[in-house]
Amino acid sequence: MKTDSVYLSNTPLGEARKLWRQALESCGFFSTKPVRIAVDQALGETTAVPVYARHSSPSYNASAMDGVAVRFQDLSMASEASPVTLPRNNYLPVNTGNAIPEPYNAVVMIEDVHQLDDDAIELISPATPWQHVRTVGEDIVATEMIIPEGHVIRPIDQGALLAAGITEVKVCAKPVVTVLPTGSELIQPGSEVCPGQIIEFNSRILSGYLLQWGAKVIVHPPVSDDPDELTEAFTSASRNSDIIFTIAGASAGTRDFSGSVLGNTGKIIIHGVAIKPGKPVILALIGDTPVVGLPGYPISALLTMHLFGRELVYGFSGKPLPEQEFCEAIMSRPMHSAMGVDQFVRVTLGQVGDKLIATPSGKGAGSVMSMVRADGLLTIPSGSEGIGAGQPIRIEMLRSKREVDRTLVAIGSHDNILDLMANFLHRLDPPLRLSSAHVGSMGGIMAIRRGEAHFGGTHLLDEETGEYNVSFIKRFLPDTPLKLINLCYREQGFIVPRGNPNGIGSFTDIIDQKLSFINRQKGAGTRLLTDKVLRDSGLEPDQVPGYNHEEYT
């Protein structure tokens, strides 16, 4: 079996979606027949056809009150001054829901009835036609449309259907979707993790969204990076599923076999789309079963499933895609993008004054937490080199506008105490959220200066005075009304392997042992402190291996 795995294309997103749609239509994927199910089991299902009442409700003239059934004509002259007496054969005692037989056409409530003896009653008020009577079809008329096509059935709808004599309904079929993770390195959650092993959690993320979209999900156990095992798994899944999502093996690594296996067992429509993240995505057919080969990185997998898989689930069921909510926001800092690809950026959102501020929440296709924290998704089109700070942008919202409006925005230096504060605020006032972007102390000061944050963490050391923060605030925020609050103290130092096996206590130890150092980015408070410590030691940056290797935390 040939197992070479290369990108077959770098197709623009719009063209890829068009070709994928055409391939699905050609194999009749969207021509799904509805299924008939019991109304009792139909909660949350979508009707495939309009549903019409089989009979009226009520199906007979029914008393709406406890009292007596009368002919309204017999009470036309009744008054307090001239009560009307009805003998027993001119009225009928009734309870709520009892049938009102002819010749009766009104009901008098029991509290308005004066019992004279065992046979006669006295009434002092006239009645109107069909007073306190639920006439045939008052609620539902036979042949009336109860619910239309494409309606998501609610509990109240189930009641109306049953009341109208409907016990079964035709609903849109739910696709059976197999989620098939691949990779010899995968282990189940809860297992002891060794170097080179990865906990398999992508299938949990994807299956959760698929369930929300209305699919029936089968999660296949992880399949090793073996072409024969992958062939058997893909072929078996195609016999038992309406849609298949494979995870990983779509790229160009030496153990990435999904592309070659799908090419041998089916037909590849697209392999490689000009998007970031998610470029290696595979769109294929095994027989008439669509297969979406998702990249292995969590964000890449989720994004490509959203772009190419959501349409499959809804289209199979004959349901329209839900409308996405968008908002206009202001970018808090520059975001560069590669030409020729549509780039999708996770952002946090917060209302600061009269501006809705968007801040990138992280980068990297493997950053699950960036998606956990994200409030929206920014698309940078392929013809753009990026987005400038302060530029208006359009955001696809991942949270509701109400949630965003109740969000406090913190931009600046990060500390775990911010996460503890977020948890405390949520406990104190559940709708309240704290969204923090970690861009360093100077980044926080500049965000306050531009009016893009409610507050920012900072720990900038003034080497001349030995004082923290004050001189920087006076310099960069001279006209900004603000308060400087000392939130906490913390101890800083080198992060080393457990037990500090190399006995590192200074930069000299790092230099002498030829160890590698990783620095914080320029503008971070920790970087200013680190630079000062280095100078105080009489050392130069180029003496420390890796000093210019910067990382955000």
Q: What is the CATH number of the domain that holds 188?
A: 3.40.980.10
Of 64 and 419, more confident:
64
pLDDT at 335: 86
Mean pLDDT of 145-164: 96
Measured distance CA(144)–CA(164) in Å, rounded: 9
Measured distance CA(175)–CA(233) in Å, rounded: 19
Q: Give yes or no for residue 203 having a pLDDT over 90.
A: yes
Measured distance CA(530)–CA(517) in Å, rounded: 12
Please count the other Cβ atoms lying within 10 Å of the Cβ belonging to residue 324.
9
3-state SS, one letter per residue, for 97-134:
CCECCCCCCEEEEHHHCEECCCCCEEECCCCCCCCCEE
Per-residue pLDDT of 525-537, as tens digits, reads 888 889 989 998 9
Of 288 and 333, more confident:
288
161 and 246, same domain (yes or no): no
Tokens of 368: 């699950």
| pLDDT bucket at 521, cuts 50 / 70 / 90 | confident
The answer as to whether 518 is a domain residue is: yes
Give the CATH number of the domain where residue 143 resides: 3.90.105.10
Per-residue pLDDT of 71-97, as tens digits, reads 999 999 999 999 999 999 999 999 999
The answer as to whether 375 is a domain residue is: yes
pLDDT at 31: 84
51 and 87, same domain (yes or no): no
The answer as to whether 490 is a domain residue is: no
**Which residue range is the domain that position 521 belongs to?**
507-551
188 and 287, same domain (yes or no): yes
Q: Give yes or no for residue 127 having a pLDDT over 80.
A: yes
Q: Give yes or no for residue 365 having a pLDDT over 70.
A: no
Residue with tokens 């306190």: 132
242 contacts 289 by C-beta, under 8 angstroms: yes
Please identify, among 316, 338, 355, the residue that sits at the C-terminal boundary of a domain: 316
Could you say which DSSP state residue 387 is in? E
335 and 412, same domain (yes or no): yes
Q: How far is CA 399 from CA 254, 374, 406, 422, in A?
A: 39, 8, 11, 17
Q: Give yes or no for residue 380 having a pLDDT over 90.
A: yes
pLDDT at 3: 43
pLDDT at 5: 45
Per-residue pLDDT of 390-443, as tens digits, reads 899 999 999 998 889 888 989 888 888 998 998 998 899 888 888 887 788 898
pLDDT at 7: 55
Mean pLDDT of the chain: 91
Per-residue pLDDT of 324-353, as tens digits, reads 999 999 998 888 888 889 999 999 898 998
Residues 6+ apart with CB under 8 A from 76: 126
261 and 308, same domain (yes or no): yes
Mean pLDDT of 177-186: 94
| pLDDT bucket at 465, cuts 50 / 70 / 90 | confident
Per-residue pLDDT of 207-256, as tens digits, reads 999 999 999 999 999 999 899 999 999 999 999 999 999 999 877 777 77
Highest mean pLDDT among 360-369, 380-389, 498-507: 498-507
The answer as to whether 272 is a domain residue is: yes
Structural domain tally of the chain? 5
Residues forming beta bridges with residue 335, ordered by sequence position: 387
Please identify, among 84, 116, 134, the residue that sits at the C-terminal boundary of a domain: 134
